[in-house]
Structure 1
Amino acid sequence: MNHFSISQLKQLPIVMTSMSRWDGDFSSASWSLAKTFSQKRPVLYVDYPFTLIDFFRERSTAAVRKRKAALLWGRSSLNPLPDFGRHLYALTPPLTLPVNWLPRGRVYRFLAKWNDRRLANSIIEGLKRINEKEFIFFNSFNPLYMNHVPPNFKPTVSVYQSRDNIRALEPYLRKHGAANEIQAIRNADLNLATSRQLQTDLQELSGKEVAYFPNAADFDLFKVAYKKELPLPEELKDIPRPMIGYTGNICHRLDYDLIAGICAANPDISLVLVGPRNHAGHTRIDLDKIPNLYFTGPRKIEQLPGFLSHFDLLILPFLCNDVTKSIYPLKINEYLASGKPVVATPFSADIRSFFPLIRLQKDASSFALAIRQELDNDTAEKSEKRYLEASTNTWEEREKHFWELLAQTFSL
């Protein structure tokens, strides 16, 4: 490592792993960062591996069908994605063994290492195909793989980024992920955390320094919701106004009692949730029976500005618990780039740092009242302040900060 200057490191390809796939149902911080890095250097964005069981269960889906040759035979595993980044590649690794069900011990470690070798070999082969040997390994929150790198996998620099409190997530992820994440941090040269709470927790648990590296927004993409009059999406044409919106995964993080309360308190307002519906088992409320609650299904990140531009207000109705207190939500800067008023629950120190640009309320009645007040009292001046705040939280700024942290780590 010592023979590389920071200018030389900036030229190296980046191999990024995460728990998201590049063509998933909703945007992810890892994918956004990969696209930004790829403007100036090759980036291999590694798909979250499909296990044998995943392949069997999902064999009829479009995601598996288009990857079948790569998953089974290693063919067409590396694909350029010039529409997303100048030097961006998607790498599909071969099928891995399902090992997470095993108890921690010798068998689990043996099979997990077999998976890691299989993943490492596919990455090395992908690098060969673009004539690269030296590389930066950037694990963006995938502690289930490569927390111990195989002997033949020799990155010039190893980076680990935590983006969520895995110790408070579902049992499947935390079973091995919690311990694996600490090991990944101890093995990395540079460690990053997207929230202040994560930074504090992980430093205490690992005994290593962890840098604060918050999420950002694709400002150039989302600013059009502020700058331009965009066509009304087909899904919104029959929905009464005013419309308030949420974009993102409809999952365990959301407070469904709060959502129901907002709708009941403001029956003349339409609440539109844009994203995949993964709320089964997380609420007993029949959301489809709420008359002024609407679902559009998942939409690609490139489509979201069209929705934001026609929403009158945006919400972040997260629960306040051990999961969300470690979240710097990706969407906050996307929301602010649109210039629209935002009402959120005070779920983390990171979201609270945006006050007073956004309103913060926890209970349904106060939240519903804040929505009404923000709709009635919004101004062009307030809108511009939100927009300008988002302009300072871009992925390009985060990339600059990354190289600064790397230079500090190695005193370059």
Structure 2
Amino acid sequence: MNNFSISSLKQLPIVMTSMSRWDGDFSSASWSLAKTFSRDQVVLYVDYPFTLLDYFRERKKKAIRLRKPALLWGKNNLKPLPEYGTYLYALTPPLMLPINWLPEGMIYGFLARWNDRRLAKSIKKGLKRLKLEDFIFFNSFNPLYLSQLPKNFKPRVIVYQSRDNIRALEPYLRKHGAGNEIKAIRNADISLATSRQLQEDLQILSKKNVAYFPNAADFNLFKSAYETKLSLPDDLQNIPSPIIGYTGNICHRQDYDLIAYICASNPEISLVLVGPRNHQGHTHIDLDKIPNLYFTGPKGIEQLPQYLAHFDLLILPFLCNEVTRSIYPLKINEYLASGKPIVATPFSEDIRSFYPLIRLENDPESFALAIKQELESDNPDKAEKRYVEASKNTWEGRVALFWKLLDQTFSL
């Protein structure tokens, strides 16, 4: 590893890849980091690539239609986003070959390298249009692409960040992603993990040092739920109080038996889930038949404080399993910034570290009872303590931590 000063690295653009797109249905750590970095340096945020198969399946969806010239002809593929960050740009790569269905071997390896060269070429063209050449490559949990860089793709620094236990996720991701993640860590100058369990697991698997780099929150955005009187969102107008809320992806992480029990044992409350519904295949419960369970659909991150401000209590009803034991949930600090009481299952070491600021209960009966007790016992002093804790976990603080970790790495 070459020795560079941190001050010189802070002048370089950051090329960030992830499995999230800048205009996705819910907030992501990679997008939040990109926005924060871009206040002081150029950030090229690379959309998660669409494959040829994605294009034909989803060509009528808005995300594809907006990107069609870039996907098919490489036109208008670089989009400045000054409304999100002073020096922030989104890059739409061209269509990739759908190869994840292939078994590990020569054919998969050959086509994966072809995809990587195509993606790297697109990134280099984007940098050239900005009259930039040298860069930091920050792979924020996208091990399906560029886990091993093409020879002519030479960043000054290579960063890999893991944000989830890919070995416990759906078969599509772990099929090639699990092995590629270990390659990415071994090829990186510095590797980061967002949870203690993930850090420990990846160090054992890769036999390399992995730094702890937890998630945070856009405190300046979410504190408005605590500090300001925000208007009631239209889709909460006819929902009776008290309102229990959840924000985020509604997916494989949730305990749907617990959600159903909460609603059945607390018929006087309304449970509102804010986020995209991706629960199909993860529960046999017909959630739409639960009378006091409501869905708002996905909301932009800028809208979430308005919802948190009008929720009486917030929940994290996650399963306790191999997937969730490696999670430092992005939303915990968003929740805390609102000052509202929080009840969660004790799914990971990281979530347990927030006790006693939040209530932790494992079984449905205790969880449902905790909701009642926390609603009754909440007070301004408790709310302020939650708010203050969130103020310590900001993306600005995480960016400062990143440069500190990088400095330590280059000083070794």
2:326 equivalent in structure 1: 326
Aligned partner letter, 1:137:
F
Q: 1:362, CA displacement in angstroms?
A: 1.0
2:166 equivalent in structure 1: 166
Pairs within 5 Å for 1:169-318: 169-318=169-318
C-alpha separation in 1, matches of 2:128 and 2:411: 30
Pairs within 5 Å for 1:27-106: 27-106=27-106
Unpaired segments of 5 or more residues in structure 2?
A: none
2:372 equivalent in structure 1: 372
Pairs within 5 Å for 1:332-411: 332-411=332-411
User: How big is each residue's C-alpha offset from its partner over 1:273-329, in whole Å with a ceiling of 9 and x where there is no partner?
Assistant: 000000001001010010100000000000000000000000000000000000000
Give the 3-state SS of the residue equivalent to 1:104 in structure 2.
coil
Aligned partner letter, 1:169:
L
Give the 3-state SS of the residue equivalent to 2:44 in structure 1.
strand
2:111 equivalent in structure 1: 111
Q: 1:123, CA displacement in angstroms?
A: 0.3
TM-score calculated relative to the size of structure 2: 0.99
C-alpha separation in 1, matches of 2:2 and 2:268: 63
User: How big is each residue's C-alpha offset from its partner over 1:177-210, in whole Å with a ceiling of 9 and x where there is no partner?
Assistant: 0000000000000000000000000000000000
C-alpha separation in 1, matches of 2:321 and 2:22: 29
Q: 1:5, CA displacement in angstroms?
A: 1.0
C-alpha separation in 1, matches of 2:325 and 2:19: 20
Aligned partner letter, 2:255:
D
Contact 2:169 2:323 in 1 (8 A): yes
1:20 equivalent in structure 2: 20
User: How big is each residue's C-alpha offset from its partner over 1:86-139, in whole Å with a ceiling of 9 and x where there is no partner?
Assistant: 000000000000000000000000000000000000000000111111100000
C-alpha separation in 2, matches of 1:344 and 1:4: 43
2:154 is the alignment partner of 1:150 = no
Give the 3-state SS of the residue equivalent to 2:310 in structure 1.
coil
Q: 1:2, CA displacement in angstroms?
A: 3.4
User: How big is each residue's C-alpha offset from its partner over 1:212-243, in whole Å with a ceiling of 9 and x where there is no partner?
Assistant: 00000000000000000000000100000000
Q: 1:363, CA displacement in angstroms?
A: 1.0
Aligned partner letter, 1:349:
E
1:11 equivalent in structure 2: 11
Q: 1:408, CA displacement in angstroms?
A: 0.4
Q: 1:4, CA displacement in angstroms?
A: 2.7
Give the 3-state SS of the residue equivalent to 2:8 in structure 1.
helix
Q: 1:3, CA displacement in angstroms?
A: 5.5
C-alpha separation in 1, matches of 2:47 and 2:187: 22
Aligned partner letter, 2:190:
L
Contact 2:3 2:410 in 1 (8 A): no
Spell out structure 1 runs of 4+ moving beyond 3 A: none
C-alpha separation in 2, matches of 1:235 and 1:192: 39
C-alpha separation in 2, matches of 1:61 and 1:257: 32
User: How big is each residue's C-alpha offset from its partner over 1:16-51, in whole Å with a ceiling of 9 and x where there is no partner?
Assistant: 000000000000000000000000000000000000
Q: Alignment RMSD, CA only?
A: 0.7
Contact 2:4 2:410 in 1 (8 A): no
Aligned partner letter, 2:398:
R
C-alpha separation in 2, matches of 1:208 and 1:175: 22
C-alpha separation in 1, matches of 2:69 and 2:286: 41
Unpaired segments of 5 or more residues in structure 1?
A: none
Over the matched positions of the two proteins, sequence identity in percent amounts to: 76
C-alpha separation in 1, matches of 2:129 and 2:151: 21
C-alpha separation in 1, matches of 2:121 and 2:283: 42
C-alpha separation in 1, matches of 2:178 and 2:4: 33
Give the 3-state SS of the residue equivalent to 1:66 in structure 2.
helix
1:134 equivalent in structure 2: 134
Give the 3-state SS of the residue equivalent to 1:93 in structure 2.
coil
Q: Work out the number of aligned pairs and report it.
A: 412
Aligned partner letter, 2:270:
S
